[in-house]
């Protein structure tokens, strides 16, 4: 059974990926400093999978800890989720974001080289596209100047990986450019756990429905879209987790010194109001929301062309927007008010 190190493995996407790795016959080794997650997630993962996961509490910038993990486990590869990810916070503390997000990747690459670990799946983002000139975006769509230090760290990390693989270090790398992850595990045992006021739309929707937030503000209704609100590609977290399993399995069959990028989305855009309406319909609820002014830094519309990942990795999204809204609400109800 191949062992895979998951940095940030107790987080939202990492925890769901751990479940799918187990289902695919892999043995995930979770590394997380719990700065943006909860140790209870590990118990939930055990309940879902029927097995206890190996967990290390720590920072993936800690080379001594990484070497300890490699000494205790023969690692077949790494899936790298761990990063600071709040766009707004990154504009206030850019050095914190550059030091952590770039530094951790550099430490990880040196670790992999020294330990002879060949395969890496990197968590990138559709933020590298900015506001695209043409839609949908393909992997060859030009990247634009980032709207935030967070977005720029993803762009620079991709550049680091390209340059490193060109130097022929003997590793294989895939960068997955996610669109907007939503939803939760169908068991309602794990899901998104935002700390404080949510930055993302769907947790704000569910917290409003639960009465934690008084109302939801929709930022702008005068965009050039069917209903005037922004358009995004909302991908269920279980589909996203499955994409990581497909990507890792795909790497095993490539030549050394391999690098490529893949979009991970549904291939369809939905407006903010469509998301709200889907939530209300599938859960038979009415949300308290209002239209507010545009929010600085928001792009108007973006969604993915998924032809490349469909054809080369054999991955397709399976969950609908309604599935995502149902699973998100079921998860929120387990958290209470």
> Are 268 and 300 within 8 A, CB to CB?
no
Whether 94 and 156 have beta carbons less than 8 Å apart is answered as no
Verify whether residue 259 is a known catalytic residue.
no
- CA nearest to 175, candidates 159, 163, 158: 158
Provide the 10 A C-beta neighbour count for residue 116: 10
Residue pointed to by tokens 């939202």: 12
Q: Cα dist. 114→1, 158, 175, 179, 186 in Å?
A: 22, 21, 21, 33, 39
Instruction: For tokens 């933020």, name the residue.
Output: 127
Backbone angles phi, psi at 196, to 5 degrees: 75, -150
Residue 52 carries which DSSP code?
Answer: P
Number of H helices, E strands in the chain: 12, 13
Look-up: residue for tokens 């190190």? 5
Cβ contact 153:98 at 8 Å: yes
Q: Are 79 and 121 in contact (CB under 8 A)?
A: yes
Give the whole-angstrom CA distance, residue 142 versus residue 251: 25
Catalytic one among 12, 150, 178, 259? 150
List Cβ neighbours of 306 (8 Å cut-off, separation of 6 or more): 263, 264, 265, 266, 267, 316, 317
Enzyme catalytic residues: 150
């Amino acid at each position: 059974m191949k062992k895979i190190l998951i940095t940030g493995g107790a987080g939202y996407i990492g925890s769901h990926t751990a479940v799918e790795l187990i289902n695919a016959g892999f043995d995930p080794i979770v590394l997380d400093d719990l700065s943006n997650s909860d140790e209870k997630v590990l118990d939930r993962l055990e309940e879902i999978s029927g097995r206890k996961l190996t967990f290390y509490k720590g920072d993936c910038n800690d080379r001594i800890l990484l070497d300890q993990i490699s000494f205790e486990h023969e690692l077949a590869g790494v899936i790298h989720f761990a990063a600071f990810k709040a766009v707004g916070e990154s504009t206030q503390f850019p050095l914190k974001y550059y030091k952590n997000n770039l530094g951790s990747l550099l430490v990880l690459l040196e670790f992999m080289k020294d330990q002879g670990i060949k395969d890496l799946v990197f968590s990138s983002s559709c933020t590298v596209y900015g506001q695209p000139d043409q839609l949908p975006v393909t992997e060859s769509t030009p990247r634009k100047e980032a709207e935030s230090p967070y977005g720029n760290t993803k762009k620079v990390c991709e550049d680091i990986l390209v340059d490193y693989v060109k130097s022929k270090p003997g590793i294989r790398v895939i960068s997955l450019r996610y669109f907007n992850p939503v939803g939760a595990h169908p068991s309602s045992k794990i899901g998104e756990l935002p700390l404080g006021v949510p930055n993302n739309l769907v947790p704000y929707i569910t917290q409003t429905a639960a009465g934690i937030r008084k109302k939801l503000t929709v930022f702008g209704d005068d965009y050039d879209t069917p209903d005037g609100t922004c358009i995004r590609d909302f991908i269920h977290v279980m589909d996203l987790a499955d994409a990581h399993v497909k990507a890792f399995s795909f790497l095993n069959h490539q030549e050394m010194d391999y690098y490529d990028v893949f979009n991970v989305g549904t291939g369809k855009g939905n407006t903010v109001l469509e998301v709200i309406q889907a939530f209300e319909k599938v859960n038979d609820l009415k949300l308290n929301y209002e239209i507010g002014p545009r929010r600085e830094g928001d792009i108007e519309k973006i969604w993915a062309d998924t032809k490349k990942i469909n054809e080369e990795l054999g991955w397709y999204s399976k969950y609908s927007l309604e599935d995502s809204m149902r699973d998100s609400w079921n998860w929120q109800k387990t958290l209470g008010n």
